[in-house]
Every structure is written in structure tokens, then in C-alpha cells.
Structure 1
Amino acid sequence: MVLLIALDAKYIHTNLAVRLLKANCDFPVTIKEFTINDRTQQIMESIVSLRPEVIGFSVYIWNVMIVKKLTKAIKDIMKTIIVWGGPEVSYDYEEYIRENPVDYIISGEGEIAFNKLLRFLKEGGDINRIPNLIYREKGKTIATKKELIADLSSLKDPYRLEEFIDDIPHKIQYLELSRGCPFHCSYCLASLDNKIRYFPVSRVIDSIDYLLSVGARTFKFLDRTFNVKETLAGKIIDHIIDLDIKDVSFQFEITGDILSRDFIDKINSRAPRNRIRFEIGIQSTNPETNALVNRHQDIPRLFQTIKYIQEKDVIDLHLDLIAGLPQEDIVSFETTFNKSIRLFPKELQLGVLKLLRGTSLRDEAKRHGYVYNADPPYEIYSSKWLSAIDMQKIVLVERMLNVHYNKGFMNRAIRFVIDNVASPFSLFLALGNYWKESGYAFGGYQLMDVFERFNMFIEHAYPEISGESLSLLKLDYLLYHKQKPKLWWRRLPNRNEILRKFYETNQEYQLVELYKRAVVTTYQNHYLIVVYGESLPVVFHHS
């Protein structure tokens, strides 16, 4: 039998690669899907019990170390052929095949190559006619001709595999409109495939409709630049907008400075709020940095587009930054961070540069003075422009950003504070140092801890805005909860008296219910009363 193994980062992820391989294979294939959090022994037992003749692993930076361990263990106890494929092993494949007991590596697109390899293993023939294949012969590494799949319409649909139908409602569904990327960013693997090819739009729409019919509700397009051809992208967007289904979301990776206002207007005027999410990479606002990594973007136009997207608050916006790019020192990155966060996206992802195998920036590591982790995910420790101490500061800012901003717990308070400090980067850095000096753990905290600590920090570091910040923190905290929460501030001694006065003009409530369900606190120059019930909390301002 042929066994394909997926090792996902999280349970909610769906490995599209192994499904594509099975759908486009002429031979029976079994898929087993695990996560990197599953015990290696459990995975081994599952594999061994099936006694496969061929095992294929889908390999990424998040699972390659486990794949290497499993491959060795399997080879120690079984005579089976092992095939690796995926972005992590498609480059520097000579090192991987030389140092690991893997029989074959498929470099790049594998739907055709894997099927041809299985046919070769079953029937024989000329192995060198199999595209994208890496193997060892007489101590040498052989690489066959590289080929892209020119006609993506020839690939069979991977979504209708019966054994996975029950999982579909519980997982993210990954879709493709195109493969390839028109840009040449030197830190990105997508830049290595500049030949853009498209799936038929009608087929993509049919896949969406089928997945919706069996319960899928969360979708993510894998296209590196979904809007590279707006006419095609627009047809997909039109269909998504017109869906008569609630609680469904679609995420797209968008290149912001080429996005037209007509495209944005279409969504802002017709789409249900939060149905569509854009992920836009800013990465850096330093022109020299962008030039050094072959990233050509019009920053003023990009920022104008982002602000235009946000005017109607229909599209969820996720912005990306990369810390550690060439020529970007700590001062420059602080500028990039401050400009970006003041756009107030729903989420700002700050990632440390990864020197991925196959990228030209990894090849230029010595030139830029990069010191980086030799193991995945290959994050840098320092460079010519950023010391190890600088990188530690940036990582600390990232931690605080994720806790206080990206989780959306305290949107009103955090926006007010960001608007009233000279440098948001310095704010998060000081906040991180406050956590460290106070001995707070960066994991295992309660929500009320985050609010209380933030309030104490603001009182200490920014006393001039602490009063308004505290009021907004209270409002954020109370509205985040659907049921009456435990408070992290002191209860008012005259709470019941205030509620009795409130009751005099709000007799739709029972006084005994107000005593039981209401929270009363000071807010700005008056009182805030939040009443919890079976539906969302109701807020009143009371003088």
C-alpha cells in the first residue's frame, strides 16, 4: 500500500498537498493526518500497523525535524520506500538526501511526479523521465528535469475525498486560484516561481460551493498575490459576496499598492462585515531595505490603500512586518513598527526574519552578517544592523503586541494609549520589561491579569493618561465578557445606592436583578453601569 503522512502545525489546519497527491494518483493511496503535537510513538505505531510499501511525507519547516526522526525509525524496522516532498526539502535537497535514509525527494510541484514515481516503482521504466525527482545512485545525487504544471485545469479536485468529509466543518479549507508570484523578494520562497498559472475560476467557485455544502466555514486562499489579476480575483469575490450563508470567512494574501479602489469599493459596498479578510505585507517602510531585498512597493500608495480599506470597517485587515531585513537597524524598525501600528489593523503580525532554504537572502547571509539558527525555522539571532540585544528587544515587543493588541481584548484602551505616546514601539518594549522585572510569566496568565498589569504599568510609566486609560480598560473588560465577570478593581461602596437611583428611571429591570447582574464603576467623570443577561451586556452611563 501507499501511505501519505501529513504533520500539521495545528488540528484546524488541512494539508492540501497530500489530498492533491491522492486525487491525482492512479493507485490506491491512504492518508494519515497528525499534528506536530502528537506523540512520535503514537505516529510510529499508526504507520507500522499499516505495513506500507511506500510512505510519502509532506515536509515543512514546522515538521521537518519530526519527519527526519520518523524516517530513521521507520527504516530501522521496516523495508519500505520513503519519499519526501514539500517546500522545506525542495531546495538544498542534496544535503537532505545525503544525510537522511530517504529514498526519493520530489522538488517542487508533485502531483504528476508522485504518480509517475509510483508507476515506475510498480512497472519499472526510465526513472529520469519523472520530473522534479531527486535520488541517489552510486553515491551521487541525481536531479531530473524541473517542470511546472502548465495546465492547472488538468489536476483533479482534492476536496471530495470521502474519508475527510466529517472533518471539513472543523478545519480551515485551503484554496488556490493561482500558483506562482510576479515578485522577487529575496527572503521569500514564492519568488522562485515567477510563472503565474491559474485554475479555472468556475472550478474554484464549484469547490467553494461544495465545501460550504458539507459544512466548511473558514477558507484561506494560498495565492501569494491573490489580486495579481483583478479580473479573475473579482469573479471569486463577487461569488463570495453573494453567498447567502452567515458566519463564513475568506482570507486572501493581497499586494496592497497594486490594489484598485474599484476592487475595494465592490467589497465595502456589498460584502457582509468580516466575511473577507486581507493579509497585506508591509514588511518594512525603509526604502533602502526594500531595495536590498528586491521588494518594490510604493509605500505612500500602500498606506493610502490601507486607510481606504478601513474607512467602511467591512474588511478584516491583517498586516505583516519582518524584523531583521538588511539595512534595517533598531531605529529604522521602530519607525516601521510605529507607522504600521498607527494604521490600527485588526492584527499586526511581527515576525523575525527566517533565512529559508532556497532563498537568495540565505545565500547572502555572510554578506549581511547574519547569525541564525541552523535548525528550522532558521530565525536570525543578529546581523550587521541588529545586535543580539536588539533582536531580544524586538522579540519582547512581539510578545507584548500579541498579548495586548492582537488578541483584541482591549481595543479601546490600547488605541487610546498608542495615540497618546511618542513611540508605540517604546511603549511595548517598556511594557515587556515591566513584565520581566515584575516576574510575570509570559504564559499561563488570566485575562484579568493582563488588564490589571497593563493598568499598573500605565499608572507608573504614563501617569498623565492613566485616568482615561483606566476608564477605557474597564469598558473593554466588561464588554469582552458575556456574563458578569470577576473584577480586578475595587467595588464601589455605594454601588447599591447608585443602582437604586438608576432603577428610578429604568424600571424595565427588576431592582433585585440589577443587584445580581449589574456592574457599577466609575468611568471618566460619571458612572458606568453594565447589565448582564441572557443576551449581550447593556451599557448605561449614569451621572
Structure 2
Amino acid sequence: MTILLSTLNARFTHTSLGLRYLYANMKQYQAQTDIVEFTIQQNVADILEQIINKQPQIIGFAVYIWNILETTRLIKEIKALRPEIIIIIGGPEVSFEYEQTEIYKLSDYLISGWGDISFYELCHNILNKKPILNKAINGIQPNLDQITMPYDYYTDEDIKNRIIYIEASRGCPFKCEFCLSSLDKTAWSFPLDAFLHEMDKLYQRGLRQFKFVDRTFNLKKEFTSRILNFFLDKIAAFPEEALFLHFELVPDYLSDELKALILKFPHGSLQFEIGIQTLHTPTQTLISRKTDLRKAKENISWLSTHSTVHLHVDLIAGLPAETLTDFAKGFNELWSWQPQEIQLGILKRLKGTPIIRHTEAFGYKYSLDPPYTVLENNDMSFDTLNKMKRVAKYWDLIANSGRFRTILPLFLADDPFDKIWHFSEWLHKRTGQTHSIALDRLFAFMFTYLTEERNESITTVQQAMQEDFMRIGTHGWPKFLGEQPIQWKQRFQNKPKSGQQPKRQQQHN
């Protein structure tokens, strides 16, 4: 291969949509171009061997916040071994504030921003020995109808075993200062007929999980309606085929027409990711976020109580002017809207984002290493944010996992944030861990905490946790849950086969 396209994904199940866009638009060089994906868990020496064996002249690396350290080490080794190989880097992590970074100094060229067309043009100039004036190149942003779509270049193995990412539109019209999309001027849509033709081909090839990465999928009602109707037609034509769709929604844009379409989808087929981020109005103003919280509450509550959509809603801790008390109040309010999952995140100072303007006024201190997480600010101390990180981990294990669905109302009664905060303190003192806690140990800790620390009724806790344990279907019955129910063995033996839903959604359902 003359040209190699590569990246290090966070895990094997992830696929790189960006590399496939580059490959799809390589024109006459496509036959001598190859895609090779790795993961950040792999040994650098093993990756180096595979790359060198392909004998590329040019390598294009997609660089993200999760792989910049590993990619930097890899490029350093490539340049030590084969300095003649031309290295081109691109991606969000090297599109801003790159001048003093080691990876930029090691590389031959950098493309900032959109690379769909610019990567091809740079390779063309290199291979034809044309003069290239600048090491850093601003990517050309073409009209979306000028970009060849990448979906044919997901392999059958990808479709069978990995997450397939879909993009019906790019950009975002909103200006939330913690997000790189705030730098976009607007949102642009791909030509819809051509896009739906590509979706039909993926469906015919067997794809049943479509993960859309659009930042504002429901912003244009007619556009959204056509896509939803496309998948409803597939469900009607093939009712025996389970289908799972993931979309990111703007929470205060949900028309009656879209609600009517959502209600037509069968149970377990839709997941919406919704970024609330903060319910503290002064913070919203400071970060240029204009979510109508009244409408957001109305829409999320409606989705929770009237539809079968699985809701994944985001909150961010560490935003300016939001204290722990403010955050707790917002968390409790959001939980009352009844989403299945609340994803607790800690603010990150992504390169290029306008959030940096608040650094001095609010006393921000960020980690210098990716993902550049806030260490402290005037409103949340270092100790508070460290504890918040643990709360986020334990919340994910307990609430978001779907494993403790029956016991959760008792566990979180009256003041959910206070309950998970104190459980986090209690559990961390006993384990010193926030991950790799085996399921049987987690059940035991929950039982001990509720019955001994909270003095809840042993019988009440046993009954609820028995139901949770039977639903998860783990081998071995814990003695602390009392006598093994008759249904246990039957339920385990007759456990239905999972459909197209991801495991977490299956556990919630």
C-alpha cells in the first residue's frame, strides 16, 4: 500500500467513520490505499510491526483526545525506524493549539478541520512532487453533496461485530462553550435521497444497529421525519427483524409530528442521547447555552412516561458558577423526569473551545494531560471534584447499568444525589476501587449498605434484590438474599435470547 489510513480506537468494537470518509474520497489513489485500525490497549511494538510490514509511503493518522498519547509514541517509533515515511495527522485533537505539541513536531503535515477533500489533495501533491508551502493546512469545507459517502467501506465483519457510526448531518448551530461544535456556524445536512439509499444498502447487508453521530438530529422536522419513516418502513416490512437506532436529540425541539412517529416504534428500538449538561440558569448564561429547560422537562418527561424510548441524558460537573449544592439540585430535578440513564461527566477543557475564557475569573485549573479534566475551580474544590468522579463511576455501576432497577427507588428515595454521594463515600472506603468490582460483590455491598448502614428492612431489601438478581441471570444464588426462589432456575433456563439492543438497554428492559 502506498497510503495507509490509521487510528487507535478506544476499543475494538468502535469503528472510525472519519477514516472511511478519507478512503471513500481518495479517487484514483483508492486502489493503493488501505485502512488499518488498532486500539489504545494494543502494544505499540505490535502496531509498529503491522504498519512497517505494509511498507507505506504515506500514513494518515486520525488523532482524538483518547489516543493522542499512544499515537504520539507510535509516530515517534515510525520516524526512528523509517524516517522517510511521510506522516500526516488530522482530527479534533490536533486541529487547535497544536503548534507546541510533540505530535505536530514529529509529523510532516497537519490538516486541521475537515479532511475529506484536503487529505486527497495533499497526498496527490506529495506523490506528484508538487511544492507544498505549509506544514499546517486548513482543511477545505466542501458542500456535503461533494463528499463521497463512506458506508460501502464498512466490511461485513464490521457490520457483524462492531458499532457502525452514521452521519446524516454535520455541524451544530448552538454555541455551548465547552463543546468543539460551538465553533461551527450552523448544521449542514447530507442529500437525503442519497443518504437513505446508503442506509438501505447497509440494511440489506444485515446492519440492525445504527448509531447516528449527528449533534442535532431533530433540529429540522421534515429531515428527521423522513429518516424515522424510512426505518418505520423497514420495521413494517420485516417485523421479525429487531432494529436498534441511536440518535442525539436537542431536548427542547420535539414537535407533535415527531412525537407521533416516535410512538410508532416498537419497544427497545430507539435510544435518545440528550445533553442537558446543567439546570443552573446562571451557568447556562455563562456558557452560552440556550436550552429552554421548561420545554426540555416537558419533552423528556413525555418520552419517559409515554414512549418506550431509552433515554441517556448528560450532566456536566465543574461548569462555571455551579456549586455542589447547585449541581445536586439539578441532578435531583433531572432524575424526577425519569430518564433511564444520567451520564455524569466532569468538565474537560477541549482544545479550541471558548470555555477557556472563564479560566481566570473562576479560578480554573485543568489537567495538562488528555482528557484535560478540570481539577478545581472557585466553586468546586479538588476534593469535591475527585469525589464527584467516584460518584460518576458508582452511579454508572448502580443506576445506569440497569442491574438494580427494582431496588433503585428504595436506594434513591427522597434525595437521589445525597444517597449516591454517601454510598460512594461508604463504598470507596471499603474497596478503594471505582471499577472492576465483580457483580456478586456489588450486590453484596448494596445489600450490606442498605441493611446495616441505612437500617432498611432486610425482608424488603431481599425481595427487591432477588428480583434484580433473577433478571440479570447470573449463575450462583447469593446466600444473603435468602432462600432461592423456585422461579430462579426456571427463569435462568428460559432466559430469552437477546435481540439487537446493546446489553445495557436489555438489562433496563
The TM-score, its normalising length taken from structure 1, stands at: 0.85
**Aligned equivalents of 1:17, 1:88: Cα separation in 2:** 13
Does residue 450 (structure 1) correspond to residue 416 (structure 2)? The answer is no
Structure number with greater Rg is 1
**Aligned equivalents of 2:489, 2:57: Cα separation in 1:** 64
Does residue 232 (structure 1) correspond to residue 223 (structure 2)? The answer is yes
Give yes or no for contact 1:292–1:326 (8 Å, CA) kept in 2.
yes
Quote the offset at 1:452 in angstroms.
1.9
**Aligned equivalents of 2:153, 2:384: Cα separation in 1:** 49
Q: 1:388 aligns with which of 372, 379, 382?
A: 382
Q: 2:209 aligns with which of 211, 215, 218?
A: 218
**Aligned equivalents of 1:356, 1:38: Cα separation in 2:** 25
Residue 496 of structure 1: aligned partner: none
Task: Spell out structure 1 runs of 4+ moving beyond 6 A.
Answer: none
Residue 188 of structure 1: aligned partner: 179
Quote the offset at 1:252 in angstroms.
0.8
Closer/same/farther in 2, CA of residues 30 and 431 from structure 1, 3 Å limit = same
Does residue 40 (structure 1) correspond to residue 33 (structure 2)? The answer is no
Quote the offset at 1:533 in angstroms.
6.2
**Aligned equivalents of 1:83, 1:218: Cα separation in 2:** 32
Residue 64 of structure 1: aligned partner: 68
Does residue 198 (structure 1) correspond to residue 198 (structure 2)? The answer is no
Does residue 161 (structure 1) correspond to residue 136 (structure 2)? The answer is no
Does residue 366 (structure 1) correspond to residue 360 (structure 2)? The answer is yes
Does residue 429 (structure 1) correspond to residue 421 (structure 2)? The answer is yes
Closer/same/farther in 2, CA of residues 329 and 210 from structure 1, 3 Å limit = same
**Aligned equivalents of 2:255, 2:52: Cα separation in 1:** 53
Give yes or no for contact 1:84–1:106 (8 Å, CA) kept in 2.
yes
Residue 495 of structure 2: aligned partner: 536
Residue 11 of structure 1: aligned partner: 12
Closer/same/farther in 2, CA of residues 157 and 461 from structure 1, 3 Å limit = same
Q: Which amino acid aligns with 1:105?
A: L
Closer/same/farther in 2, CA of residues 339 and 70 from structure 1, 3 Å limit = same
Does residue 120 (structure 1) correspond to residue 143 (structure 2)? The answer is no
Give yes or no for contact 2:111–2:137 (8 Å, CA) kept in 1.
no
Q: Which amino acid aligns with 1:148?
A: Q
Q: Give the gaps of 5 or more residues in structure 1.
A: 129-133, 136-142, 493-517, 521-527, 538-543
Q: Which amino acid aligns with 1:107?
A: S
**Aligned equivalents of 2:66, 2:138: Cα separation in 1:** 28
Closer/same/farther in 2, CA of residues 173 and 294 from structure 1, 3 Å limit = same
**Aligned equivalents of 1:200, 1:439: Cα separation in 2:** 53
**Aligned equivalents of 1:437, 1:317: Cα separation in 2:** 32
Closer/same/farther in 2, CA of residues 41 and 313 from structure 1, 3 Å limit = same
Residue 83 of structure 1: aligned partner: 88
The TM-score, its normalising length taken from structure 2, stands at: 0.91
Closer/same/farther in 2, CA of residues 469 and 315 from structure 1, 3 Å limit = same
Quote the offset at 1:193 in angstroms.
1.0
Residue 326 of structure 1: aligned partner: 320
What does the per-residue CA deviation read over 1:299-346, in whole Å, with 9 as the maximum and x for residues that have no partner?
Answer: 121011001112234211100010100001111111111112233322
Tell me whether 315-324 or 390-399 shows the greater mean CA deviation: 390-399
Does residue 402 (structure 1) correspond to residue 396 (structure 2)? The answer is yes
After superposition, residues 401-420 of structure 1 pair within 5 angstroms as 401-418=395-412, 420=413
Closer/same/farther in 2, CA of residues 99 and 226 from structure 1, 3 Å limit = closer
Give yes or no for contact 1:169–1:214 (8 Å, CA) kept in 2.
no
Closer/same/farther in 2, CA of residues 390 and 440 from structure 1, 3 Å limit = closer
Closer/same/farther in 2, CA of residues 16 and 305 from structure 1, 3 Å limit = same
What does the per-residue CA deviation read over 1:238-268, in whole Å, with 9 as the maximum and x for residues that have no partner?
Answer: 1112212623211111001122232122111
What does the per-residue CA deviation read over 1:87-129, in whole Å, with 9 as the maximum and x for residues that have no partner?
Answer: 100111322378521111111110110111011112244636x
Quote the offset at 1:472 in angstroms.
1.1
**Aligned equivalents of 2:20, 2:87: Cα separation in 1:** 18
Closer/same/farther in 2, CA of residues 98 and 173 from structure 1, 3 Å limit = closer
Give yes or no for contact 1:175–1:219 (8 Å, CA) kept in 2.
yes
What does the per-residue CA deviation read over 1:109-164, in whole Å, with 9 as the maximum and x for residues that have no partner?
Answer: 10110111011112244636xxxxx61xxxxxxx5556422x212211212138x2
Q: Which amino acid aligns with 2:214?
A: D
SS in 1 for 2:252: helix
Does residue 248 (structure 1) correspond to residue 248 (structure 2)? The answer is no
Does residue 438 (structure 1) correspond to residue 426 (structure 2)? The answer is no
SS in 2 for 1:37: coil
Residue 500 of structure 2: aligned partner: none
Does residue 92 (structure 1) correspond to residue 97 (structure 2)? The answer is yes
Closer/same/farther in 2, CA of residues 309 and 491 from structure 1, 3 Å limit = closer
Does residue 258 (structure 1) correspond to residue 250 (structure 2)? The answer is no
Tell me whether 153-162 or 25-34 shows the greater mean CA deviation: 153-162
Does residue 459 (structure 1) correspond to residue 451 (structure 2)? The answer is yes
**Aligned equivalents of 2:103, 2:251: Cα separation in 1:** 42
What does the per-residue CA deviation read over 1:368-419, in whole Å, with 9 as the maximum and x for residues that have no partner?
Answer: 211111111111110111001110221121121011111110101102332x
**Aligned equivalents of 1:195, 1:413: Cα separation in 2:** 44
Closer/same/farther in 2, CA of residues 145 and 473 from structure 1, 3 Å limit = closer
Residue 281 of structure 1: aligned partner: 275
Residue 513 of structure 1: aligned partner: none
Quote the offset at 1:221 in angstroms.
1.0
Closer/same/farther in 2, CA of residues 490 and 156 from structure 1, 3 Å limit = closer
Closer/same/farther in 2, CA of residues 299 and 467 from structure 1, 3 Å limit = farther
Q: Give the gaps of 5 or more residues in structure 2.
A: 497-509
